[in-house]
A and B are shown apart, each in its own frame.
Chain A
Amino acid sequence: MSPDARRALAGWGGFLVLVAILPLLGVGSDRYLMLLANVMLMFMALALSWDVVARTGQLSLAHGAFFGIGAYTVALGHKFVALSPLLGMAAAAVVGFVIAAILGAVTLRLRGIYFAIATLAFGEVLRTVTLQLPDLTEGPIGISMPPLFDGDRVASYYVIGVVFVLALALSLGVRYTRAHYAVTAIRTNESVAAVMGVPVVRTKLLTFAASATIAALAGAFYMPFITHTDPTDAFDVSRSVASLAFPIFGGIYTTAGPVIGTIALRSLEEYLRVTPPWKEGYQVLYGAVIVIAVLFIPRGLVGLGESFRRGAFLPRKGGRAWRWSR
């Protein structure tokens, strides 16, 4: 293991200890804070998994859709065979992986724009179809089930914590193994990567399927956590938007970026949601963040931090006095 990898593992190990003892620090008894902590971990997992797909140069607009697939796997399992939530999560992981593999096999051989278009269409078609199959899905009314661990938010926190650890492991694994060289080569130039022997389609496919599995697990957790799902909520595009806005704001292609981005933006969202005139339009923030970050801070907060450390913000002789990013 390289020194870089060892340092990263040590750092994230420390972070995980912090995450693990958080409920013991007086937060555990506050139901609102625990709700927030559960949701934070869930969105961190979504953001981390979205970023892994982005590292191959692909834009996934289906993370919300796989979230919905996870939610509906648990819901349908409960409705038809009285499946327990935890077994439902396991089933959701399998379903998510398989569906992503099929969708990916068809779209990832082609130019990236097809993948982006197909993933966007995928989420919308799932919403439309679940709405119109009431025999199976109860249509717009949706499906309800009893709360996870009878509403014990500390217990559920550790469940979503496991999903977060999986997402973290995926993100770090892609960064500190040979996969890093494969995804970086593919992202920079797919043709050249191919003639260097990088298995382009297989790498993109596995990355996407692994990532979609995490998203499905997040949805499978969320459904019993809030005890209800319906097509509009389960396949809400806003979750796909959040999955990508967080990493872009925090710093794309990194592990710290999605985590930092989630903490910063999700906290802000929590405030805006209850503050007029934003309310449901709080997503305007995500749109603005994406546009501004792509245009002006392509490496996000993490990139800004690095530039700062390297002294890029110090006034320089000649040229522009201040330099943004890189």
Chain B
Amino acid sequence: MEALPQVLLFGLLRSGLYALTALGLAISLGVIGIVNFAHGEFVMLGAYVGFWLYLGLSGPLGLGPEVSPLLILVGVPLSAIVLYVVGLGVFRFTLRPLLARPELDQMLLTFGLSIFIVNATAIALSPQAQDAQMSWRFELLDLRIASVTYARVASFAVSMGLVIATYVLLMRTRIGKQMRAVAQNRLGAHLIGIPVDRVYAIAFGLSAALAAAAGVMLLFTTQLSPFLGLATILKAFSIVVLAGLGNLAGVVVASLLLGLSEQAVSQYIPDGAALRDGLFFVIIFVVLLARPSGLRR
């Protein structure tokens, strides 16, 4: 058994989607300074947009195996655009009025939004889990170390592509540089004439769009249900806490660490399921315990 290379491979593949989800969360936290408890619901809504497209493509159009690449090429951008607009709306009408209010109010609001979206989705659609039975979930790709499904490879590749694209956006474009400036120093950014309000809105939209893309890719590997947001966001939180708040570059490394350690626990610890699924909390707890001074105001 070549356990180690397999652990590394599967851990790496796991981490892609983690990074994509956590990056959006880190952007809203770093740039706007808001903890978005509804980020997981953006992932879920993005997944539903992808799912409807999948139903449309595979049902009336009768597309078979070709649906998987189409879902990536069309579904990811479509879902991202839809959620970008949703994000702008959510920011404009709920978060912006609260920017001057205490942190507690802001957190309560996003938490309330999260509860609202989950249950509204459950009522409007169905609380039952649904499954996009895509062929890629079962077709195997031989990577010599191990055979992995197309779905895993695709979700990793698309996620990493989008993560890299986001970093390029942040480093190279005008709006990206403005976002980083605002993240570093709100008042200073305002003083040198950066339209902080607009930067906030775009950052929040971008964060929702990234969540939506992650949601579509989640369809390849996971069942869809209105309740998938919670588990998603908790892992994302552990990554953001591990990377350090607002540290966008650390997100990829932290995701890799979570993915690898989850994989290692599954592989090496018998009956390690409880530990694997609780690992996100262990990470949060240990980070908070280990470096409190670095996390102070």
Residues of A within 8 A of B (CB): 54, 57-59, 61, 106-107, 109-114, 116-118, 120-122, 124-125, 128-129, 131-133, 187, 190-191, 237, 241, 244-245, 248, 277-284, 286-291, 294-295, 298
Contact = CB atoms under 8 A, between A and B. Distances in A.
Contacts of A248: 108
Nearest to A283: B119
Contacts of B295: 110-111, 114
Contact of B281 (A114, A125, A132, A294): A125
B230 A290 contact: no
20 contacts: A57-B104, A58-B104, A59-B107, A117-B237, A120-B37, A121-B237, A121-B238, A124-B231, A124-B234, A125-B281, A129-B277, A131-B274, A132-B273, A132-B274, A281-B119, A283-B119, A284-B122, A291-B112, A291-B116, A294-B98
A294 B288 contact: no
A112 B122 contact: no
A33 to B, nearest CB: 27
B111 A121 contact: no
B289 interface: yes
B111 A128 contact: no
A27 B243 CA distance: 56
B114 interface: yes
A187 B122 CA distance: 36
B118 interface: yes
Given A129-B278, A290-B112, A117 B35 contact: yes
A117 B111 CA distance: 11
What range describes how many residues of B lie at the interface? 35 or more
B120 interface: yes
From DSSP, what is the main secondary structure of chain B's interface residues?
A: helix
Nearest to B233: A120
A189 to B, nearest CB: 10
Please give me the 8 A-B residue pairs with the lowest Cβ-Cβ distance, nearest first. A287-B116, A290-B112, A287-B115, A132-B274, A281-B123, A284-B119, A125-B281, A291-B112
Interface string B257-297: 00000000000000001100110110011001100100111
Scoring B123, B231, B296 by chain A CB atoms within 10 A of each residue's CB, the highest score goes to: B123
A59 B278 CA distance: 22
Contact of B109 (A111, A121, A291): A291
Contacts of B108: 59, 244, 248, 290, 294
A65 B122 CA distance: 23
Contacts, number: 138
B230 A284 contact: no
B112 A128 contact: no
A150 B292 CA distance: 49
B284 A290 contact: no
A295 B97 contact: yes
Nearest to A56: B104
Interface in B75-104: 94, 97-98, 101-104
Nearest to A113: B35
Contact of B115 (A125, A128, A283): A283
Nearest to B93: A295
Given A128-B278, A129-B274, A114 B288 contact: yes
A270 B107 CA distance: 27
From DSSP, what is the main secondary structure of chain A's interface residues?
A: helix
Nearest to A133: B274
B127 A281 contact: yes
B139 interface: no
Nearest to A292: B112
A253 to B, nearest CB: 10
Contacts of A131: 274
A62 to B, nearest CB: 12
B119 A111 contact: no
B105 interface: yes
A244 B295 CA distance: 27
Given A121-B284, A187-B102, A287-B118, A116 B107 contact: yes
B288 A107 contact: yes
A291 B111 CA distance: 8
Contact of A284 (B102, B107, B116, B274): B116
Given A281-B120, A283-B115, A284-B116, A295 B109 contact: yes
Scoring A110, A289, A294 by chain B CB atoms within 10 A of each residue's CB, the highest score goes to: A294
Nearest to A122: B281
B72 interface: no
Contacts of A287: 112-120
Interface string B25-43: 0000100000101000000
A125 B123 contact: no
B241 interface: yes
Interface string B204-235: 00000000000000000000000000110010
A111 B231 CA distance: 23
Given A121-B238, A287-B112, 5 more contacts: A120-B37, A121-B234, A248-B108, A291-B109, A294-B109
Nearest to A238: B115
Contacts of B292: 109-110
B116 to A, nearest CB: 3
Nearest to A284: B119
Given A117-B284, A298-B105, A277 B123 contact: yes
A243 to B, nearest CB: 12
Contacts of A281: 119-120, 122-123, 127
A54 B230 CA distance: 22
A288 B119 CA distance: 10
B284 A61 contact: no
